[in-house]
Structure 1
Amino acid sequence: MVRGGQGLARVAVVVRAGAAPLWWCGVFAAGIGVLPPGVTGRRIGVMAGAALFIVAAAVVTYTRRKRYGSLARSAARAGKHDVLQDRAVSVRNWRRGHRWWLLLAFAAALGSSFAVPAAGGLLLAGAAVGLWLKAAWLGRRERAGQALLWVRVDWLGRRAGAPAGKPVKAYRSTGIAAGDAAPGGSRRRTDALV
């Protein structure tokens, strides 16, 4: 950072950074977890897991939506000395900061399979789908406003926390073509720039 500029990370990228690892942890835990019959039996376990999948996806999708909306409405324009963080760096920082939580969640989902087969894994997978849906919602907001949303890296902290957490005071915005991530935080397709 130079001349008072701030390091900025894309809000949608940070939101969806945990989706892929949660999804794969959930899928593997559910796949392995369906092998033991468990206390409840496989059928009840899978049905309970399907219900948890839907509930987790809905809860994660709609949690803090008002906070995201108010921060987005009050977003100030990014300065010319602000440094826009690459998508890969934001994703790597989030995953490094949460690797032990992901491992613990995988172990808990796997361990719960001895009581309720596959339910814990499907819960993790539902949380991952919720993160993807929240990022897609942010992407629709960004397209509608023709502005990408960014958050200061120092407000995310060392563990790359939630982009709508208490330390976050405001967002910054840039034009829709800034950075290397498309609206919603996915990789920007190179043919979309031509």
Structure 2
Amino acid sequence: MAVVQRAGSAPLWWLGAIAAGVGLIPDGLTGRRIGVLVGALLFLLAAVLVPLVRGGRAAALAQDAERAARADILQARSVTVRNWWRGHAWWLALAFAAALGSAFVLPAAGGMLLAGWGTGLWLRARRTGRVEEAGDALLWTAADALGRGAGGPLGAKATRLWTTGLRAGDAAPGGGKRR
């Protein structure tokens, strides 16, 4: 489950950093100083608010999680990340374009918001990783709960979770690659 949360953090952070850097080129309507200050505020707000949205739902679902059976098919980390990227490519492109376009009003602010969003997703995955480490088990959600319109790994379609040992699959607690 943390893999899906973490899959979006890297592209959002990098696209946000690039958009913020390019967004410093135009002066914008407000000037660079105000744009960067507003962008810093938006970065902090996004980095704080994104982990809080549905953040407690992972811990609540983890309490009722069942052990995965041998017959359950668990999706590999690389497949999950690839599917997330394919399903969100247009949204990433639109968010990047909006961040670049907003630079003509508030330089760098849109890019810093995207970077804050990516940071918030990474922090949410780390929080889920702490829940996984405390329970000494990885949390898994059904692949059909991740499809279009499902609301993500903690959306309405994710009504239950499964657990495996920490060595199952190729993901570490928190969604990173297992070493």
Q: Would the aligned equivalents of 2:151 and 2:157 in 1 still touch at CA under 8 Å? A: no
Residue 46, structure 1, aligned to residue 36, structure 2: yes
For residue 89 of structure 1, what is the aligned residue in structure 2?
Answer: 79
For residue 136 of structure 1, what is the aligned residue in structure 2?
Answer: 126
Offset at residue 68 of structure 1 (A): 1.4
For residue 51 of structure 2, what is the aligned residue in structure 1?
Answer: 61
Comparing 159-168 with 20-29, greater Cα deviation is found at: 159-168
For residue 145 of structure 1, what is the aligned residue in structure 2?
Answer: 135
Residue 13, structure 1, aligned to residue 3, structure 2: yes
Match of 1:166 among 145, 156, 165: 156
Report the AA paired with residue 73 of structure 2.
Answer: V
Q: Would the aligned equivalents of 1:12 and 1:184 in 2 still touch at CA under 8 Å? A: yes
Runs of 4+ in 1 over 4 A off after TM superposition: 158-161
Report the AA paired with residue 182 of structure 1.
Answer: A
Shift in alpha-carbon separation, 1:29–1:121, aligned structure 2, 3 A: same
Shift in alpha-carbon separation, 1:44–1:55, aligned structure 2, 3 A: same
Comparing 59-68 with 98-107, greater Cα deviation is found at: 59-68
Residue 115, structure 1, aligned to residue 105, structure 2: yes
Residue 27, structure 1, aligned to residue 17, structure 2: yes
Q: What is the RMSD computed on CA atoms of the aligned residues?
A: 1.1
Structure 1 segments unaligned to the other structure (5+ residues)? 1-10, 190-194
Instruction: Measure the CA separation in 1 of the matches of 2:72 and 2:172.
Output: 19
Structure 2 segments unaligned to the other structure (5+ residues)? none
1:188 aligned counterpart, secondary structure: coil
Match of 1:182 among 148, 157, 172: 172
Comparing 29-38 with 152-161, greater Cα deviation is found at: 152-161
What TM-score results when the alignment is normalised by the length of structure 1? 0.90
Shift in alpha-carbon separation, 1:118–1:37, aligned structure 2, 3 A: same
Offset at residue 160 of structure 1 (A): 7.5
> Percent of aligned pairs with the same residue?
60
Instruction: Measure the CA separation in 2 of the matches of 1:54 and 1:155.
Output: 30
Instruction: Measure the CA separation in 1 of the matches of 2:92 and 2:112.
Output: 14
Match of 1:126 among 109, 116, 128: 116
Offset at residue 66 of structure 1 (A): 2.1
Tell me the number of residue pairs that the alignment of Structure 1 and Structure 2 aligns: 179
Comparing 66-75 with 117-126, greater Cα deviation is found at: 66-75
Q: Would the aligned equivalents of 1:27 and 1:125 in 2 still touch at CA under 8 Å? A: yes
Q: Deviations over 1:85-136 (max 9, x none)?
A: 1111000001100000000000000000000000000000000000111111
Instruction: Measure the CA separation in 2 of the matches of 1:61 and 1:158.
Output: 21
What TM-score results when the alignment is normalised by the length of structure 2? 0.97
Residue 105, structure 1, aligned to residue 106, structure 2: no
